[in-house]
Structure 1
Amino acid sequence: MTTERPWLAAYPEGVPTDIDPSRYTSLVALMEQAFKAYADRTAYTYMGKNIPFGHVDRQSQAFAAYLQSLGLEKGDRVAIMMPNVPQYPVAVAAILRAGYVVVNVNPLYTARELEHQLKDSGAKAIVIIENFAHTLQQCIAQTPVQHVVLCSMGDELGLKGLLVNYVVRKVKKLVPPFQLPGAVGYKTAVAQGRSRRFVPVAVGSEDIAVLQYTGGTTGVSKGAVLLHRNIIANTLQCEAWFNPVLQDIRKTGEQVTSICALPLYHIFAFTVNMMLAMHTGGRNILIANPRDLKAVFKDLQGEVFHNFPAVNTLFNGLAHHPDFNSVDWSHLKVSVGGGMAVQGAVAKLWLEKTGCPIVEGYGLSETSPVVSCNPVTAKEFTGSIGVPKPSTYVKLVDEGGQTVTELGKTGEIAVKGPQVMAGYWQRPDETAKVTTADGYFLTGDIGVMDARGYFKIVDRKKDMVLVSGFNVYPNEVEDVVATCPGVLECAVVGVPDASSGEAVKLVVVRKDDSLTEARLREFCKENLTGYKRPKVIEFRTELPKTPVGKILRRELRDSTPAAAVAA
């Protein structure tokens, strides 16, 4: 077994080589066990208010009863479009308990992006924060959505919530005007649900739990089908991996507490924050807007926390912030870096300032998400993505589809394990492209393995650009920009960026000389989420191409002339 999985020798003491996903028949069974066992414990801290597991249990059951009253059937998709607010985990628990499928939606999506996801998933209902309701208004008529539940930032804060909502709506003006006739408020929906009977639904491990949208080599956003057993498996894999540290924290009598600054609609936080804490009785400090670093420090002041999953840009931003020392970092035991490559300089600074090394991990939406991680007992940053999690098999595959056996030789990272998705939603052709004959999932990342079984990513097979942990697919951006009047042709590549790891570079050949950079930026703002918008724009008379006309993206990446315009 160790020859097939040489990395097992690197496992810390107390970490099992395999996990048993059949411990739970569904995520519903996992959650309901947690609600019963930890009813009086704090599940979430939000804007200074502690929200117990028992409250999430009661709210979600009532909300599930409300959703059932709408006439939805088992397996129907319900979208959630919210930042990190308490209604998010309530909605997830309600949707799953009622036998439906969670469709995670980025709240920053444009109307075009939202319309595609709602149509593709076939979502019949959406739970959305009012701040982004104007986006839904623009596209709802073209989608199958029949029911809208509107949330506000202060819904779960009692009387304080009235003040929070006033500030959000009237002072900060963060809720643009919208009209969504027939929409029901979250508090009204929960109240109505309490007066109805919740009917438990038989949900099994092979049922779909989540559609997690991601791109691909084609750039078309598609849903990774994550079954209940996939997310259960990854939750148990993460628990096993964290076990050496979890035991140490529990000996102190403290409740294991995590900072939840990553968005819950991203599968990283969905599993590593929400589901792991649900299973282990841990607490999450919800950060609604991690881009507002001053507010992040305010939320963390006076708090004791042990676990911090984040992306490189957030670690970097916090470490360089003048308010860094206003927070007590002395209890921090694990800093998990994922979503994008962790830079050595950032890891060095973080260790100097907190005494806690960043342990980098690796995963994808298609793997629920975690594939590998450095041991949480590591004392320093390794620069690798660590070793595969329990019950996970990873190999490298060459261009011919053969397994790479020579140490130090590169190949495409291929993964097999209980956390790997069932496929792409209603796209068997796309699923077939990423599945090997022996059942491995092809990640599109090029890696290398050392003698200890540690993996390192050296390149990407795909042209994907990774901006602060979010995937940007050149084809999608190109398709949008190509529709801008005055554009003859265009190409998108990723370029190094000190703040976000990579940034989007757009190269355009004009059809009309009157086309300006300002007009292009405005067009992108109207049609693309912020992280997908070009940071660098360059105009050229022609694009470099192969003899058959394929654009040479690598050549564009390698040349960013002085004529390029940075945002």
Structure 2
Amino acid sequence: MLTREDVLAGLPTRLHQILDRHPDIHDCAPALHERGETLSYGELRVAVASLAERLALDGIRGGDRVMLVAENCGLLVAALLALSQLDAWAVVVNARLSPGEIENIRQHCGARRVLYGSSVSRDAAAHAEQAGAEVRVLGCLGGYHLGPLNEDCQPEPVEADPTRQVAAMIYTTGTTGAPKGVMLTHRNLLYIAHSASLLRQLGSSDRVYAVLPISHVYGLSAVCLASLFAGAALQLESRFDPEELARALREDGVTLMQGVPAMYARLLELADAGRLELKAPHLRFMYAGGSPLDETLKHAVERRFGIPLHNGYGLTESSPTVSQTRIDEPRRDTSVGRPIPGLEIRLLDNQRQHEVAPGEVGELWVRGPNVMKGYYRAPEQTAEVLTADGWLNTGDLARQASDGALFIVGRSKELIIRSGFNVYPPEVRRCSMPIPAWCSQRWWGVRWRAMKWWLPSSRSPIPMASMRAG
């Protein structure tokens, strides 16, 4: 059984050092597949060093915040690692946000510069034009835009300790509603990257379909960084296209696919309508997260692909993973699995004074190396959810089975106490929806389509408040 020490052992101190974990012979192995082109690990290492040098010449210092306005692409991956090399903070932002939202984030974080992934994202290109950004071209990374230098930016202190030094900041509605910058340290993200690679048995022969936005913590740590940590290849996709995904599963040798439940529902819907062919001869691992997984959908996906559909739970403030089902212990139910190695949990009663009895529902609190440093420039809001001794209040209600598996039952703010009994709205909704097949999952699909992160016309990222159950 994996322990906390197993995951912490040998962790680098900075994100960019994950490339140094692999032997020189691995330099020829593919790191990134993007739009028919392949970048090897050796080429990625050179690209990261070149971009770091260029950014330093453009005035980026340790402790600066640099916004990365982009969709999934090699430039975004390289920029994350290059900023790590400079000890700057990457403020990762989905290019589909509105200009007003991007400007609010820029002002709040006090960004030194904004880098736009304009060669891949038309939305990023539009933002760059509006900001008066300059064109840059850098070797195999291609073109991008760089916004004006903010002379008023004051750098944050640089910490040698990876548990203190911030690597990335992701803006989210958080656990209390108002948008906040979640400060995630190098240790936070590397702990999840290593944990995910171990629990999914990732290796250098794997090819990971990476369509989940890297601007979302799920795509950042559990997909992108976990794959690079293990020496696997990432197949980068900027937007979800079910026909393209089906083709990649048939033809590209994809071995791991991670997505949200609505993605799987859409695949099945189109396959049942005869609009695409679902074959995945090399696929060995599937995972659903980001929203609750309907049991009927889970079973339908498993019948179609012939392998288990794994499940998990997390939130931005925990980088994000709290729990997941184990690859060697697939489940038939929709439990979100046991806590990841080294993570402590407790379930508290309504008064937050005592732990509930085994099997009962309580408010979920977690503590571990993946828990955020805090909300940027918001000490009072940080104190509302994070205790001095490191316990994070997720704001979710859960129960734990005798085998340690967690079941998420709702949000603590949604709890209704009626005649002394606790009533959980998600359970009421399930009881009031006797609909066959995965129609309840399609209800979640409607919710996700309202968030619109995968649609071509989308201008909104995945709100992390929805990275709760599933």
Q: Above 0.5 in TM-score? A: yes
Identity of aligned residues (%): 25
Alignment of 1:172-187 (within 5 A): 185-186=143-144
Q: Could you tell me whether the CA contact under 8 Å between 1:78 and 1:127 is conserved in 2?
A: yes
Out of 160, 169, 181, the position equivalent to 1:223 is 181
SS class of match (1:381): coil
TM-score after normalising by structure 1: 0.67
Q: Could you tell me whether the CA contact under 8 Å between 1:395 and 1:413 is conserved in 2?
A: yes
The amino acid that maps onto 1:100 is: A
* Equivalence for 2:212: 262
Measured after TM superposition, the shift of residue 330 of structure 1 is 2.8
The amino acid that maps onto 2:336 is: I
SS class of match (1:89): helix
Q: 1:399 to 1:380 in 2, by over 3 A?
A: closer
* Equivalence for 1:59: 47
Tell me how large the CA RMSD over aligned residues is. 3.2
Out of 236, 239, 244, the position equivalent to 1:286 is 236
Separation in 1, partners of 2:386, 2:234: 35
Q: Could you tell me whether the CA contact under 8 Å between 1:446 and 1:457 is conserved in 2?
A: yes
Measured after TM superposition, the shift of residue 304 of structure 1 is 1.3
Q: Identify which range, 364-373 or 48-57, moves more after superposition.
A: 48-57
Separation in 1, partners of 2:283, 2:449: 37
Measured after TM superposition, the shift of residue 241 of structure 1 is 1.6
Q: 1:531 to 1:50 in 2, by over 3 A?
A: closer
Separation in 1, partners of 2:356, 2:220: 35
Q: Could you tell me whether the CA contact under 8 Å between 1:330 and 1:354 is conserved in 2?
A: no
Q: 1:501 to 1:445 in 2, by over 3 A?
A: farther
Measured after TM superposition, the shift of residue 415 of structure 1 is 0.5
Deviations 1:302-337 (A, max 9, x none): 111221111001111122223786454132221111
Separation in 2, partners of 1:33, 1:385: 31
Separation in 2, partners of 1:420, 1:324: 43
SS class of match (1:285): strand
Out of 332, 337, 340, the position equivalent to 1:389 is 340
Q: 1:505 to 1:82 in 2, by over 3 A?
A: closer
Alignment of 1:472-483 (within 5 A): none
Deviations 1:262-320 (A, max 9, x none): 11111111112211111111011112210x22233344441112211110011111222
Alignment of 1:370-519 (within 5 A): 370-436=321-387, 438-462=389-413, 498=442, 500-501=444-445, 503=447
Q: Could you tell me whether the CA contact under 8 Å between 1:318 and 1:324 is conserved in 2?
A: no
* Equivalence for 1:309: 258
Measured after TM superposition, the shift of residue 239 of structure 1 is 2.5
SS class of match (2:270): coil
Separation in 2, partners of 1:504, 1:378: 29
Measured after TM superposition, the shift of residue 123 of structure 1 is 1.2
Q: 1:46 to 1:531 in 2, by over 3 A?
A: closer
TM-score after normalising by structure 2: 0.80
Measured after TM superposition, the shift of residue 217 of structure 1 is 5.0
The amino acid that maps onto 1:356 is: I
Separation in 1, partners of 2:395, 2:146: 45
Separation in 1, partners of 2:458, 2:279: 41
Select the structure with the greater relative contact order (CA < 8 A; seq sep ≥ 6): 2
Q: Could you tell me whether the CA contact under 8 Å between 1:387 and 1:453 is conserved in 2?
A: yes
Whether 1:107 and 2:58 are equivalent positions in the alignment is no
Whether 1:320 and 2:282 are equivalent positions in the alignment is no
Measured after TM superposition, the shift of residue 372 of structure 1 is 0.5
Q: Count the aligned residue pairs.
A: 415
The runs of 5 or more residues in structure 2 that have no matched partner are 148-157, 415-439, 451-456, 464-470
* Equivalence for 1:516: none
SS class of match (2:382): helix
Measured after TM superposition, the shift of residue 39 of structure 1 is 1.2
Out of 245, 258, 274, the position equivalent to 1:296 is 245
Out of 349, 362, 371, the position equivalent to 2:313 is 362
Measured after TM superposition, the shift of residue 122 of structure 1 is 1.2
Measured after TM superposition, the shift of residue 223 of structure 1 is 1.0
Separation in 2, partners of 1:81, 1:90: 13
Measured after TM superposition, the shift of residue 528 of structure 1 is 7.3
Separation in 1, partners of 2:352, 2:252: 50
The amino acid that maps onto 1:456 is: F
Deviations 1:400-439 (A, max 9, x none): 2223240222111111000111111111101100023643
SS class of match (1:277): helix
Q: Could you tell me whether the CA contact under 8 Å between 2:175 and 2:385 is conserved in 1?
A: no
* Equivalence for 2:165: 207
Q: 1:350 to 1:527 in 2, by over 3 A?
A: closer
Separation in 1, partners of 2:341, 2:4: 5
Separation in 1, partners of 2:224, 2:458: 31
Q: Could you tell me whether the CA contact under 8 Å between 1:126 and 1:148 is conserved in 2?
A: no
SS class of match (1:319): helix
Out of 97, 115, 126, the position equivalent to 1:134 is 126
Deviations 1:107-165 (A, max 9, x none): 11011211111111111212213312334555x49xxxxx656689xx8598xxxxxxx
Q: 1:354 to 1:387 in 2, by over 3 A?
A: same
